[in-house]
Copies of this chain bind each other. A is one copy, B any other.
């Protein structure tokens, strides 16, 4: 049974890490003239063709936001919509060739940034991180 103090410290640590990762992702996104959310979307859609509802859940935002976010990325030629075959209410999303390449480069750059900052992490610590996120339904 963990103490309140331990829980508070864990929360602070996670909130600090959250700001650090957002800052790193923001810097990478900036270099590609993307917002943090757009960069996240490109990464999340890689190797998937989610519906708008699924995408909203993964990104942790309301479905009404997704419409606008996708519109802006469509305008930039990075993603495209297509109708689901079995349910005509559903739209699905896929990366264009350009979006595929951009998403891959964002991920590579993010990996390099992470490597530079957190690359000294010991294998045991890396494993700990994996466990921390492994019970995930939305990632």
Contact = CB atoms under 8 A, between A and B. Distances in A.
A126 interface: yes
A111 B5 CA distance: 9
Interface in A55-71: 58-60
Contacts of A6: 126
Nearest to A8: B111
The count of identical subunits is 2
A86 interface: no
B59 A133 contact: no
A88 interface: no
A112 B7 contact: yes
A97 interface: no
A125 B126 contact: no
Given A133-B20, A136-B20, A111 B7 contact: yes
Given A4-B111, A22-B60, A111-B4, A139 B10 contact: no
19 contacts: A4-B111, A7-B111, A10-B126, A11-B110, A13-B129, A14-B17, A14-B114, A14-B129, A16-B139, A17-B17, A17-B18, A19-B40, A19-B60, A19-B138, A23-B138, A117-B135, A121-B132, A125-B128, A128-B129
